[in-house]
């Protein structure tokens, strides 16, 4: 009988712990200028992103997004976190990106914007997390092996 009572107490404690974890609130994190900062990464690209309330202007390495990312698909990738959170045109974004190509840089900016939005508005965490924007895409280029032409492609076989 004592074992059954102890197990019941332990189960009640576990239920109470899970309820307490859900009640934990995330806090807004801003710098001295009222901006939220985050670092986004994708492939070899690293983006440092600052967001603040504004008219929706996005500057990348000092240039407008239309001139930096000429392809519409890349601009769409950057805008995804705002569209998912229903915050189109409400934040100004300033970011610096280094490394990688344009596709990797767009992914890094998207990751940085998502993390910055999360720190500016902690209530959006669940929405952004479910959409997969807060998770760093860990896929990177596989290294070249010796005796191969590329990572997996071998040299052409010659019988003689």
54-91: pLDDT as tens digits:
999 999 999 999 999 999 999 999 999 999 999 999 99
Burial of residue 135, with CB atoms counted within 10 A of its CB: 0-12 exposed, 13-18 middle, 19 or more buried: exposed
CATH topology of domain 36-131: Ribosomal Protein S5; domain 2 (3.30.230)
Q: What is the pTM of this model?
A: 0.81
pLDDT at 11 over 60: yes
Average pLDDT on 23-43 reads 87
Contacts by 103-107, CB closer than 8 A, 24 or more apart: 103/43, 103/74, 104/42, 104/43, 104/44, 104/45, 105/42, 105/45, 105/47, 105/60, 106/42, 106/69, 106/74, 106/75, 106/77, 106/78, 107/40, 107/42, 107/43, 107/45, 107/77, 107/137
Give the closest residue to 101 by CA, choosing from 77, 76, 69, 63. 69
pLDDT at position 3, please?
Answer: 67
Question: Mean of the per-residue pLDDT values for the chain?
Answer: 89
Q: In this structure, are residues 39 and 49 in contact, taking their beta carbons and an 8 Å threshold?
A: yes
Q: Where are the domains of the chain?
A: 36-131
pLDDT at position 26, please?
Answer: 82
- pLDDT level of residue 35 (50, 70, 90 thresholds): very high
pLDDT at 14 over 80: no
- Neighbour-count burial for 34-45, b at 16+ CB within 10 Å, e otherwise: ebbbbebbbbeb
pLDDT at position 25, please?
Answer: 78
pLDDT at 22 over 90: no
- pLDDT level of residue 10 (50, 70, 90 thresholds): low
Percent of the chain topping pLDDT 70: 85
């Amino acid at each position: 009988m004592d074992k059954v009572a102890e197990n019941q107490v332990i189960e009640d404690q576990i239920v109470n712990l899970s309820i307490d974890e859900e009640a934990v609130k995330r806090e807004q994190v801003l710098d001295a200028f009222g901006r939220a900062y985050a670092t986004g990464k994708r492939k070899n690209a690293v983006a440092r992103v600052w967001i603040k309330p504004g008219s929706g202007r996005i500057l990348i390495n000092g240039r407008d997004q239309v001139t930096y990312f000429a392809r519409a698909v890349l601009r769409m990738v950057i805008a995804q976190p705002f569209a998912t959170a229903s915050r189109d045109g409400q934040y100004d974004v300033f970011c610096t990106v280094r490394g990688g190509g344009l596709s990797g840089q767009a992914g890094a900016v998207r990751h940085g914007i998502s993390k910055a939005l999360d720190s500016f508005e902690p209530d959006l965490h669940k929405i952004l997390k479910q959409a997969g924007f807060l998770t760093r895409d860990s896929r990177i280029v596989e290294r070249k092996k010796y005796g191969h032409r590329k990572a997996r492609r071998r040299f052409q076989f010659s019988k003689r």
